Structure 1
């Protein structure tokens, strides 16, 4: 037995799963047949299993990107076996990289686990299967030998990203505001060593924490999407796009700008990411000249103590200067405020709320610092005896009892406003980006009116968020914490009140989103870029 093997790769594709796309393209370039199948939610289980089994693959690989939906993939593994799959079953991604021991212990149905970048590992596995062998003794792989689990050596990070073939993309483009959005990776990894970040943990074993593609290779991919897929909007999924060092950052963006123009690319815009300490005014101006209209900033918190605790390398002054520089350059910044972490206090929360209040016109959301396998913060809490939960979902109690109570209340009262993946504040980030696209590509009086309506709606929701969080903070600061019933009652009452307040805001959000989408489709059709079939939704903010 030998030669061409068939693989099915399964993972979430709410926007575009470029991780699976790269795996598929690399394996195909090596002579194998690969299909990519979407599995975002448990409701998709039957359809996903049917599609995967219809391919009659030799190998099925699951890309488990998120630790909080491990159970969905446990169910998928068991269902694939129950319905007759007898080939090699493996998984990878962040969860596989750090939780391989737990996965193999719980799932005898699973044959192996892939750690870190999987392109070369996947191909070597397919070659082993082609020889009639069970994949083992492969760098980057964990496998079984009898009752033992054996971890192979860490595979060094793929050195030349430009040697990788262009990733496979969904045939149906993703649409925001009626415009085709394509997704792009120009680098892998990050220079930061944030204690809570799974990216820093992921790259720590690979010897290369940050790898760049050549600007010309990036421009080739942009040109392909522009000319062949009609994309004028690019969401750069790099964990870090703006390089540290002003000269280096500006030079790279100037080279990308020049290279895409040389390839006949016209007016295109970008959503990019940056660390606040790297966003000087010249850098922001260079980003805008390249085409960036939106920048997700790693603001995280407004307290210097909290930033230090989280392993950030910037100060509150960098948050303010980065926002000011983006505004001055014509870029809209967005960000998440990590209001809570294991050692925060109510005073820290108040400091960050003050910053939020100063930026009500910008799209932002609030959250708690979560704990992921492999991170320094997880190890710290474990050492301190404070780590709760298990590998599926870690948690903690804050040292400050009043901060803990505040979070427990808002977890009930503010879930649909802020904490859920489809929360109102997340949707407003996506809506803000849609209105930016119209302001850039379709300027008119009607566009200005839509722009004003979106901005007014966002300010209204965020102002109310700050007010309710301050009210809650003041209550918790002075209330007797032993009265659990009173706190529970307040949480429910606030949740109902916020839900009633948000109902018309959600209706306005939906109406504006639909209006921008329909208007954008009409405008792009007039420009000769009609979309026959497409995908879309509010998930663009989830990429932050």
Structure 2
């Protein structure tokens, strides 16, 4: 049995400055689990593809499938790749009519059975997919009906049908290492334009699930956090470091520091094992739940990038979106992280504008909050309600209607505002104002100083290269062409982590 797995993307949606892609843990975790739990797995030949990495078009994927003639093609997509997903499914169906098309990932798990309105898609794997995927393969091999396999979507008598949901996997240690042998780490390193390091990197998930109920998030991994043991995490890091030469780790947890003692143990383990690595917390830190000891340990373990989600500095909206940030404590955390980093790390905030019912004055609250602090980067994203979230329902009640299918930016150059009080054009202007006010000469000078960092540790090397990429520095000059510094703003997806669903 030949199974081809594709991470669906559309390279034309990105410019070269923002185009970057990562090994897809969801897909290779499915393969790792199948290898461990199917005693006949030697009969399966797995192939892995990433459309962004390979620069493939939907037609190109169809041609590849036609040439390889697999029995099964698995497609994984994020919500904003909806249009590309259906184009790819159509291309595969046209090129290989007999191939079974199985779909999963965040897009499928959020849109559910609606995906089956596309007749080119045969089977869906919802949410946490390892057990469901292995059971699906077993049922197909034994020629058993799929309607008794939990965790799937399919058609029964021509109508979309969902089988019973599957329990979340607990403990997580029962999931083996992902199939890292399928990953071309050097190819990914060459595509990571934002970093410019050339170093091998990997995403890492040390826990699944989040107990908070922020309205903009999908709950793909449930509302109970399941933690991998510190030893289990450290063994995976060491495996990637020693076997695959990975020296940079992106942490994709929902909240890495929810269990602070466990987080500290992981950091101490990295230090004790003398692993010279860089760590990027682009996700997964709850700023009002940090302490100085953890920050210091994270720095000593190699962290060069801290990102804290502010979202909004208006208490009313904090309650509305159920983020419930303690803004005073968060401000203290940001200041402490800046002070302790002492040139070893970049500290960033994530902010959102255009919430349903948000006013211009409330956006100014968020701008002023960021201006009052001494961090390096303030990332501002236009709020795009994603289908399957509570925010989407709230926005719809206020008259929000997305234009066409979900993409990185529904509305092109003018962001689509979810606030009935702010027009698209005015929101664009306010995003530009936010960036212009924050990235003043002093902050740019501080970033330029960090961009000169060259080593000798991996942490220092990755810090310098990251900032060079962020500022688009070439020939020693900063061209300030990074998307985060341009008018119009980049869209940050809060549910961007590739889940264990395919």
Q: TM-score if structure 2 supplies the norm length?
A: 0.77
Q: Deviations over 1:125-168 (max 9, x none)?
A: 11111123453221110111122221111111111221212112
Q: Deviations over 1:263-308 (max 9, x none)?
A: x443223112311111222332232233323211111122222222
Instruction: Give the match's secondary structure for 1:438.
Output: coil
Distance in 2 (CA, whole Å) between partners of 1:53 and 1:437 is: 48
Per-residue deviation at 1:78? 0.8
Whether contact under 8 Å (2:128, 2:221) holds in the other structure is: no
Of the candidates 27, 32, 47, which is equivalent to residue 25 of structure 1? 32
Instruction: Give the match's secondary structure for 1:136.
Output: helix
Of the candidates 217, 235, 251, which is equivalent to residue 236 of structure 1? 251
Of the candidates 188, 194, 208, which is equivalent to residue 214 of structure 2? 194
- The answer to whether the aligner puts 1:253 opposite 2:263 as a matched pair is yes
- Unpaired stretches in structure 2, ≥5 consecutive residues: 9-19, 190-194, 411-415, 437-443, 483-490, 498-502
Shifted more, 110-119 versus 50-59: the winner is: 50-59
Matches within 5 A, 1:154-193: 154-169=165-180, 170-173=183-186, 174-175=188-189, 176-178=195-197, 179-193=199-213
Distance in 1 (CA, whole Å) between partners of 2:464 and 2:205 is: 31
Whether contact under 8 Å (2:59, 2:88) holds in the other structure is: no
Matches within 5 A, 1:325-474: 325-330=336-341, 331-359=345-373, 362-382=376-396, 384-389=397-402, 392-393=405-406, 397-400=418-421, 402=422, 405-407=425-427, 409=429, 435=451, 438-439=454-455, 441=457
Shifted more, 157-166 versus 33-42: the winner is: 33-42
Per-residue deviation at 1:405? 4.7
Distance in 2 (CA, whole Å) between partners of 1:81 and 1:509 is: 40
Distance in 1 (CA, whole Å) between partners of 2:224 and 2:111 is: 20
Judged with a 3 Å threshold, the aligned counterparts in structure 2 of structure 1 residues 195 and 275 are, in CA distance, closer, same or farther, namely: same
Whether contact under 8 Å (2:303, 2:459) holds in the other structure is: no
Q: Deviations over 1:205-227 (max 9, x none)?
A: xxx53211111111111111111
Who is 2:63 aligned against?
50
Of the candidates 25, 29, 49, which is equivalent to residue 37 of structure 1? 49
Whether contact under 8 Å (1:268, 1:291) holds in the other structure is: yes
Whether contact under 8 Å (1:254, 1:290) holds in the other structure is: no
Q: Deviations over 1:294-335 (max 9, x none)?
A: 211111122222222221121321331121121132143212
Of the candidates 252, 270, 281, which is equivalent to residue 279 of structure 2? 270
Whether contact under 8 Å (2:417, 2:424) holds in the other structure is: no
Who is 1:75 aligned against?
87
Shifted more, 132-141 versus 271-280: the winner is: 132-141
Of the candidates 2, 10, 14, which is equivalent to residue 21 of structure 2? 14
Judged with a 3 Å threshold, the aligned counterparts in structure 2 of structure 1 residues 436 and 268 are, in CA distance, closer, same or farther, namely: farther
Distance in 2 (CA, whole Å) between partners of 1:278 and 1:301 is: 17
Judged with a 3 Å threshold, the aligned counterparts in structure 2 of structure 1 residues 267 and 404 are, in CA distance, closer, same or farther, namely: same
Judged with a 3 Å threshold, the aligned counterparts in structure 2 of structure 1 residues 455 and 321 are, in CA distance, closer, same or farther, namely: farther
Greater gyration radius: 1
Judged with a 3 Å threshold, the aligned counterparts in structure 2 of structure 1 residues 323 and 274 are, in CA distance, closer, same or farther, namely: same
Whether contact under 8 Å (2:177, 2:236) holds in the other structure is: yes
The structure with the largest helix share of the pair is 1
Q: TM-score if structure 1 supplies the norm length?
A: 0.71
Q: Deviations over 1:497-539 (max 9, x none)?
A: xxxxxxx9874668xxxxxxxxxxxxxxxxxxxxxxxxxxxx9
Distance in 2 (CA, whole Å) between partners of 1:386 and 1:128 is: 44
Q: Deviations over 1:94-143 (max 9, x none)?
A: 211121332112x1121121110111111111111112345322111011
What is the RMSD of the two structures over their aligned residues, measured on CA atoms?
3.8
Q: Deviations over 1:172-227 (max 9, x none)?
A: 334334332222111112222101112xx3244xxx53211111111111111111
Whether contact under 8 Å (2:139, 2:146) holds in the other structure is: yes
Whether contact under 8 Å (1:59, 1:88) holds in the other structure is: yes
Instruction: Give the match's secondary structure for 1:366.
Output: strand
Distance in 1 (CA, whole Å) between partners of 2:123 and 2:465 is: 51
Whether contact under 8 Å (2:277, 2:458) holds in the other structure is: no
Judged with a 3 Å threshold, the aligned counterparts in structure 2 of structure 1 residues 210 and 183 are, in CA distance, closer, same or farther, namely: same
Whether contact under 8 Å (1:386, 1:396) holds in the other structure is: no
Judged with a 3 Å threshold, the aligned counterparts in structure 2 of structure 1 residues 83 and 452 are, in CA distance, closer, same or farther, namely: closer
Instruction: Give the match's secondary structure for 1:298.
Output: strand
Distance in 2 (CA, whole Å) between partners of 1:87 and 1:151 is: 21
Whether contact under 8 Å (1:277, 1:318) holds in the other structure is: yes
